């Protein structure tokens, strides 16, 4: 059985910071990949989760403030990325806190800085990271966006089924509305649990695609239609491409964040949950500066 994160009752959430890792992963050459593997084994306990910095909070509040003023909203959306990069204080070190991906992987939106989370609904560390990911998404400036890339690392824990389900939900247009609720179904209510939520032991029977389809029925999709979409050629193609992209990015554990297809980081390399938010913001601003300069 692959090395996995066991949920023991009474353990503090901070102890669940270690990433879920691929059982067959071998670190690619170079220091960048080595840290991802180390992160899967032993991540430091994070400082208490703090709210995003003031600048991030301001950025997150901008869309809401603009909602009552369409003209202002249009202006905000049209605002180009900053030309000036963030100050380099030496706090964030390439090869230690974040790692260059070579070659860089293309994103689906060259006009924006894309923050990708490689994750699985069946990964306990991803479940604990999800509120942090929500903070990151809320803190991003208008020239950046979040995308999710599901991994299928661990078949014995049903990761491939949840990977297929995510792409089916995406194809049906219900992925964003159901994202957080799916984590709850696996780790809170137990509707689609892969572990016994009391003992932390892996269940002998994993949720079927039909059971997962029942969950998505709450979002107006007939179970039969969901299963058909999940088993479609289009979804199978997306799964193959996702597996290839994850491998090309050197990702061997979840959750892992990738900034614009160029840099990889995780909670352990950043130094904790609050630091992860700050590092993502710093890299996003740096890439945004390049994007802004290119538009001049």
Tens of pLDDT along 236-254?
Answer: 999 999 999 999 999 999 9
Q: What is the CATH number of domain 101-296?
A: 3.40.30.10
CB 283 within 8 A of CB 263: yes
Question: What per-residue confidence (pLDDT) applies to 33?
Answer: 41
Question: What per-residue confidence (pLDDT) applies to 118?
Answer: 98
Percent residues over pLDDT 90 in the chain: 68
Supply angle C-alpha 207, 212, 213, rounded to 5: 145
User: Is the pLDDT at 49 greater than 60, yes or no?
Assistant: no
User: Is the pLDDT at 262 greater than 80, yes or no?
Assistant: yes
**Local confidence band at 114 (pLDDT 50, 70, 90 cut-offs):** very high
**Local confidence band at 23 (pLDDT 50, 70, 90 cut-offs):** low
Tokens linked to 183: 């984590």
Domain residue ranges of the chain, discontinuous segments joined by +: 101-296
CB 108 within 8 A of CB 116: no
Tens of pLDDT along 210-233?
Answer: 999 999 999 999 999 999 999 999
Tens of pLDDT along 125-138?
Answer: 999 999 999 999 99
Supply angle C-alpha 23, 200, 257, rounded to 5: 45
Tens of pLDDT along 73-109?
Answer: 333 444 667 778 888 899 999 999 999 999 999 999 9
- Please give the Cα distance from 184 to 127 (Å, whole number): 8
- Within 10 angstroms of residue 139's Cβ, the number of other Cβ atoms is 22
């Amino acid at each position: 059985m692959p090395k996995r994160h066991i949920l023991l009752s009474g353990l503090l959430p901070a102890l669940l910071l270690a990433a879920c890792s691929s059982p067959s992963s071998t670190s690619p050459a170079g220091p960048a990949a080595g840290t991802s593997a180390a992160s899967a084994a032993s991540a430091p306990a994070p400082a208490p989760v703090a709210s995003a910095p003031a600048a991030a909070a301001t950025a997150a509040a901008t869309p809401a403030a603009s909602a009552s003023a369409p003209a202002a909203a249009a202006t905000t959306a049209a605002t180009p990325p900053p030309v000036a990069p963030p100050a380099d204080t030496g706090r964030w070190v390439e090869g230690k806190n974040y790692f260059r991906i070579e070659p860089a992987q293309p994103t689906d939106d060259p006009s924006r800085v894309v923050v990708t989370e490689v994750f699985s609904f069946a990964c306990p560390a991803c479940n604990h990271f999800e509120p942090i990911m929500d903070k990151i998404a809320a803190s991003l400036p208008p020239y950046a966006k979040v995308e999710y890339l599901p991994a299928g690392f661990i078949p014995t824990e049903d990761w491939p089924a949840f990977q297929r389900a995510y792409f089916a939900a995406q194809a049906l247009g219900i992925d964003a509305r159901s994202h957080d609720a799916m984590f709850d179904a696996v780790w809170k209510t137990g509707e689609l649990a892969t572990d016994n939520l009391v003992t932390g032991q892996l269940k002998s029977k994993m949720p079927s695609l039909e059971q997962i389809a029942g969950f998505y029925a709450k979002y107006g999709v007939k179970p039969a239609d969901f299963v058909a979409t999940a088993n479609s050629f289009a979804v199978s193609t997306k799964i193959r491409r996702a597996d290839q992209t994850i491998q090309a990015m050197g990702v061997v554990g979840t959750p892992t964040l990738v900034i614009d297809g160029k840099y990889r980081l995780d909670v352990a390399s950043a130094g904790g949950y609050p630091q992860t938010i700050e590092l993502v913001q710093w890299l996003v601003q740096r890439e945004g500066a390049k994007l802004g300069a290119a538009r001049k």
